[in-house]
Amino acid sequence: MPALRSPVSLFLIATAVWGSTWLAIKFQLGVVAPAISVAYRFALAAVLLGAWCTATGRSLRFSARAHAFIALQGVLLFGFNYVAVYEAERYATSGLVAVLFSTIVFMNPIGARLVFGTRMTAAMLGAAALGVFGVALLFVPELLQARHGGDVTLGIVLGLGGTLVATGGNLAAVRNQRAGIPVMSGAAWGMAWGAAAAGLVALVQGVPWTFDPRPAYVLSVTYLAVFGSIVAFGAYLTLLGSVGPGPAAYVGIATPIVALLLSTLLEGYRWTLVAAIGVAIAVFANWLALKASRHATQAAALA
């Protein structure tokens, strides 16, 4: 269905699903170590996605060179990135982590400029600054509260580190798609590599390999594997190949808005004027980024 593969549809799918995963991740923290939860999530996703690729006739065979780059994408995007984000939420509020991760709207285009020579425009950078500012306004109470935590600095380091690692994974994904590696087949192997990387982190940390059999944990792992990993990453990686790492990064700006809307419905989140202004600014930033992206695409076509 072509409509579902349009940039707007892909953006909305990734944003809607990842906005809901903030609630599911809450059930992952506690009994099972974060690195092990990440390993469970992406191992299950890799098995399910691999089975789907086989059932639909998509080849899972790649050369050794291709596997090396798929592993790079998987280890960065599905492994170390998620371990860092899960760990960051142990030391900092989820709102602060969301603000930190939204800086990917700067990191992605800068990385694309350094690696691929992609042009950066003042409009894109201005939209990025507005987007991060809007997300920050959404979480003003949490950001003020975060100043009093002794371990917040570690949470900030982990949050920014995870965002930087995710940027590397995005750039590897762009390279892989340009090399002709199919999105879903590559993602299946990439998630397997990501699960292995998370398992390696758990081994280095020396944490016990446990499992929480309670329904909340099992259902959250399943939801995160199927929707948060297969569906959302399928949409996002396709979007990444279509519009590039700069515009695609704005999913990180829109996702917290969806998360707060769901929190309003399910958790009784109370909106403030500042938060509403933050949403308006973030939405405007997304519109500016989309407009700038269209102009850049048109200019490239005419060149």
Tens digit of pLDDT for each residue in 181-211?
999 999 999 999 999 999 999 999 999 999 9
As a whole number of angstroms, the distance between CA 221 and CA 120 comes to 38
Domain-embedded: residue 11: no
Domain-embedded: residue 8: no
Confidence of residue 302 (pLDDT cuts 50, 70, 90): very low
Domain-embedded: residue 4: no
As a whole number of angstroms, the distance between CA 29 and CA 37 comes to 8
Average pLDDT over residues 4-26: 86
Domain-embedded: residue 135: yes
Window from 91-100, 171-180, 275-284 with minimum mean pLDDT: 91-100
Domain-embedded: residue 2: no
User: What's the confidence (pLDDT) of residue 141?
Assistant: 74
Which DSSP letter does residue 33 get?
A: -
Q: Which domain holds residue 258?
A: 16-302
Domain-embedded: residue 3: no
Q: Is the pLDDT of residue 146 over 70?
A: no
As a whole number of angstroms, the distance between CA 120 and CA 187 comes to 28
Count of Cβ atoms closer than 10 Å to residue 41 Cβ: 30
Count of Cβ atoms closer than 10 Å to residue 59 Cβ: 9
Place of tokens 């990444």: 240
Name the CA dihedral angle for 169, 170, 173, 179, rounded to a multiple of 10 degrees: -120
Average pLDDT over residues 221-243: 94
Domain-embedded: residue 1: no
On the 0-12 / 13-18 / 19+ scale of CB atoms within 10 A, 180 is exposed
Q: Is the pLDDT of residue 2 over 70?
A: no
As a whole number of angstroms, the distance between CA 278 and CA 294 comes to 24
User: What's the confidence (pLDDT) of residue 23?
Assistant: 78
Give the chain's domain count: 1
Q: Is the pLDDT of residue 11 over 60?
A: yes
Domain-embedded: residue 7: no
